[in-house]
A and B are shown apart, each in its own frame.
Chain A
């Protein structure tokens, strides 16, 4: 199978009762050459899922396949899956020149000899729009946007089959964010990079992704083509996320109209049974008596049969219903 495939991946930290299952059987496919945006709130497990693929988090179950090979069991130096980190200030060694940082990621077998490697570093720097002369600088002399370009160049240096971009613009100022997003899109399209793009910002994910996957408490609750998921979200959690995005047209009155939900977010150490969203769900069992099913049965098992693979027992019928969740769309 081509592309990057997460197959029922589980990540668990710690042991016994105090353990935390950060990712619970998440399945996700990034088709070759495409960008899948993974959204979710902090603690939803989206960054942990990414880390599991590059060996920075302990995989307890499932597989991560890249073009058919399980990358979590790879031994040796070559890493076909590369990652761009969130904080460009922390992800570059302050004592190592930019050129050395990039050169380090070039596979040994690919290029031998000092001059060949140096030429490759220059080529990579130019690819991300940086002057080749910057190779000799320490990261302290670069701005946040430039550092993030270096981060991209380092990821490309590994000649990856796929790239994971973990919140790559959230540490940047808005005026710089646009530059990095444009560059990323341009490079991604030129090289046809298979990319998992992680962010909490729906506007950003909409801008760069072909597909969107929504994560909640360690599970993928909805996924599908960007346009369709944003226009016709199936899972109530996706709808809640979308509604919370501040809009340009919003006024103080609009903010005032938000319906109130003051319950504490679910404790990831003790996730609720059944559908993990049910205590907060505006169309779930705490609101409607006829939906006790949500308390006991995990809707994820039949997700594949529903529109957008939505993990919800009560999704509206595929492609018929609109945004009105509360409306009794189901035949009953």
Chain B
């Protein structure tokens, strides 16, 4: 499990993790060595020096029997830590047992265990500990059992929750179908997948147990004389805290430092393990070639709603920044529908997000030009952006459920846009919202406006989302995979709605999709993206007839439709798209391209516009097919 080792090593590499690890190490060393080195000295009774304050001979003074408190605090480390760890181990083991039992036991027994654990969790841990301490009797063993048992329920519940989330995963279902038994399922599939969060919580739990022990001993319920731990030392020191504070403060400090070491280490581990590294592969990112902006010659005669030049989006990577969008240039004219197609990782969605200024830090967006309706977005202040985004520029996302606020009614959310962007009153805005819902063909809009997003079906929600986008009177709708989560029949209606809106309001549309047929049927112009660049741009009507980039051709051929020849294997594109952090030299498609030449592997082709406005980035494009159909008329 070298992967896991390196991940735990990453914990120590964080500053907090390192501090905590060093502290823990010091505590452990002291716990091991102190009783050996100073055990004698800590128990020497000196009746001549009873209850002294700090002095050169006794750094922290002496106790009622004249014993040196400094050494006693050091020596007490072993017992304190040992007890805390023992109690934690008991708690963790018992918790694991209770937590995993429902997965192994018959259903009814499992439920019984679950509800017992839930009931136990309801009691405060310290209360349980006191209760058990009384049952098991005052003393070290009793206290250990008490604290162990008290931590067990919360740990059991954590185990249950974590294993339930893993048990819902497909691979567990797959293992069940494969005939894997319950015990093996638990040991091989569930436990390994929840081990890390459990370990982290156990560490934090040890810190808590330490504190709880100090508390019990302080109350006299824990360690009994002649043994001593920090809690007892604290109790003894507290009696004369007004005379000499040092004997009380020293064990306090010890408890705090050790508890902190446990907790911080746990927290650091949680932080480091919870966030997976961006790319597990250790490969140095190559120097990324940029699309030379000078060669993007595009006549900008017509007015444009959205003009993007040399857009780049990058994220900090493991070794070097990763740039999933590498110099994209595109123009959307008023009322035009432009489609962007590409596979996952081609940068199409990021392009859309960047155009709407929705890329969150640490993502970084640069562009020579990013202009929407005459406003340069990258240089605009938040005040200038306010009325544009959400108003003049509407976004429609793949999953409308996550784009709506679940606790506000749909009508309210639509009305808010009108209040915000058009300065309407509350009543007028709500009326406008109902009108909009009717326009996007939501049935019974008056009633529907008062309902919440979860009461809408997927297709209806997407309609409402489009309606919400329309509330601000947009000039451009950016739709990112708006129909991917929908069924084909519903998809058709949503696409139809977008087309109608465009016709009625003259709104431009930027439609992002992985599905060539969706884009081809809805848009005027199509941009094909591969590995963060546009590789081809052409009119939708000519897509199937006049596409020249080998990638576009391959993409069109690879998708089966209702006319595909069933007798032959589907044409495939060998290999897979490159990761943004390990792009090949030259053209990114070259390693998969049947037409690749030496030049393609050495030099990245520019996106060149031909006389017909067809843009293409390829050294060796496929010849324009001598169209058998009427497609190649131009």
A binding-site residues for B, Cβ under 8 Å: 41-42, 54-56, 77-79, 81-83, 85-87, 90-96, 101, 104-105, 107, 138, 140, 143, 145, 151, 154, 157-158, 173-179, 181-182, 185-186, 200, 202-204, 206-207, 230, 240-248, 250-252, 254-256, 258, 260-265
Q: Which of B458, B521, B554 contacts A175 (CB 8 A)?
A: B554
**Does residue B289 face the partner (Cβ distance < 8 Å to A)?**
no
**19 cross-chain CB contacts under 8 A:** A41-B487, A77-B179, A82-B177, A92-B171, A95-B193, A138-B3, A151-B174, A174-B514, A174-B559, A178-B558, A178-B573, A186-B569, A200-B488, A202-B488, A247-B561, A252-B337, A252-B524, A256-B499, A258-B492
By beta carbon, the residue of chain A nearest B487 is A41
Chain B residue at smallest Cβ distance from A74: B179
Q: How far is the CA of A90 from the CA of B170 in the complex (A)?
A: 5
The complex places the Cα of A85 from the Cα of B524 at a distance, in Å, of: 37
Most buried by A among B524, B571, B572: B572
B602 at interface by CB-CB < 8 Å: no
Residue B515 at the A interface, CB < 8 A? yes
Contact B569 A206 (CB under 8 A): no
Min Cβ gap B447→A in Å is 12
Residues on A with beta carbons closer than 8 Å to the beta carbon of B3:
138
Cα of A107 to Cα of B522 in the assembled complex, Å: 51
| CB within 8 Å of A: which B449-466 residues | 457-460
CB-contacts of B481-520 with A (<8 A): 487-493, 495-496, 499-500, 503, 514-518, 520
For B180, what are the chain A residues with a Cβ–Cβ distance below 8 Å?
104
* Contact residue among A200, A207, A244 (Cβ-Cβ distance under 8 Å from B492): A244
Known: A178-B560, A252-B522. 14 other contacts (CB 8 A): A41-B487, A104-B175, A107-B179, A138-B3, A140-B280, A158-B177, A173-B514, A174-B559, A204-B560, A206-B560, A207-B566, A250-B520, A260-B493, A262-B442
A158 / chain B contacts, CB cutoff of 8 Å = 177-179
The residue of chain B having its C-beta at the shortest distance from the C-beta of A103 within the complex is: B178
B562 touches A202 (CB 8 A): yes
- Check B560 against A85 for contact (C-beta < 8 Å): no
- Main SS at interface, chain B: helix
**A54 CB to nearest B CB, Å:** 5
B217 CB to closest chain A CB (Å) equals 41
> Are A255 and B496 neighbours in the complex by a CB distance under 8 Å?
yes
CA distance A328 to B493 in the complex (A): 27
Q: Are A175 and B517 in contact (CB under 8 A)?
A: no
Distance in angstroms between the alpha carbons of A176 and B559 in the assembled complex: 10
Residue of B169, B170, B176, B503 with most partner-chain A CB within 10 A: B170
Q: 6 smallest A-B Cβ distances: which pairs?
A: A105-B178, A246-B517, A41-B487, A250-B521, A178-B570, A91-B170
With a cutoff of 8 Å between Cβ atoms, the chain B residues found around residue A56 in the complex are: 173, 176-177
B residues with a Cβ closer than 8 A to A are 3, 169-171, 173-181, 188-189, 192-193, 280, 337, 343-344, 441-443, 457-460, 487-493, 495-496, 499-500, 503, 514-518, 520-524, 540-541, 544, 554-555, 558-564, 566, 569-573, 576-577
Q: Is the CB of A203 within 8 A of B562?
A: yes
* Minimum distance in angstroms from B128 CB to a CB of chain A: 34
Q: In the docked arrangement, what's the CA distance between A176 and B521, Å?
A: 23
Q: CB-CB < 8 A to B517: which residues of A?
A: 246-248, 250
Give every chain A residue within 8 A of B516 (Cβ-Cβ).
Answer: 174
Q: How far is A107 from B3 in the complex, measured between Cα atoms in Å?
A: 30
Instruction: Say yes or no: A264-B443 contact (C-beta < 8 A), given A104-B180, A182-B570, A255-B521.
Output: yes
Q: Which residues of chain A have C-beta atoms less than 8 A from B459's C-beta? A: 265
Interface centre among B181, B554, B558 (most CB of A within 10 A): B558
- In Å, the complex CA distance between A35 and B515 comes to 26
What's the Cα separation between A68 and B497 when bound, in Å? 50
- Minimum Cβ distance to chain A for residue B355 (Å): 22
Which residues does chain B contribute within 8 Å of A177, judged by CB atoms? 558-559
A200 contacts B569, C-beta separation under 8 Å: no
Q: Which residues of chain B have C-beta atoms less than 8 A from A206's C-beta?
A: 560, 562, 564, 566
Bound CA–CA A175/B573 (angstroms): 6
Chain A hits for B192, CB < 8 A? 93, 95-96
Q: Is the CB of B562 within 8 A of A251?
A: no
The answer to whether A252 and B521 touch (CB under 8 A), given A154-B178, A173-B344, A174-B514, is yes
- Contact among A95, A157, A182 with B178 in the assembled complex (CB-CB below 8 Å): A157
Chain B residues lying within 8 Å of A182, measured Cβ to Cβ, are: 569-570, 572
Q: Which of A93, A143, A202, A263 contacts B175 (CB 8 A)?
A: A93
- Min CB–CB distance A330 → chain B (angstroms): 25
Give chain B nearest CB distance to A296 CB in angstroms: 24
Find chain B residues with CB under 8 A from A154 CB. 174, 178
- How near does chain B come to A145, taking the closest CB pair, in angstroms? 7
Given known contacts A143-B576, A157-B178, A207-B570, is B441 in contact with A260 (CB within 8 Å)?
yes
Given A90-B170, A140-B280, A178-B572, also A83-B177 (CB < 8 A): yes
B560 proximity list for chain A (CB < 8 A): 178, 181, 203-204, 206-207
Closest to A204 in B: B560
Considering residues B178, B458, B522, B563, which has the most beta carbons from chain A within 10 angstroms of its beta carbon? B178
**Which residue in chain B gives the minimum CB-CB distance to A265?**
B457
Contacting pair B488 A245 (CB below 8 A): yes
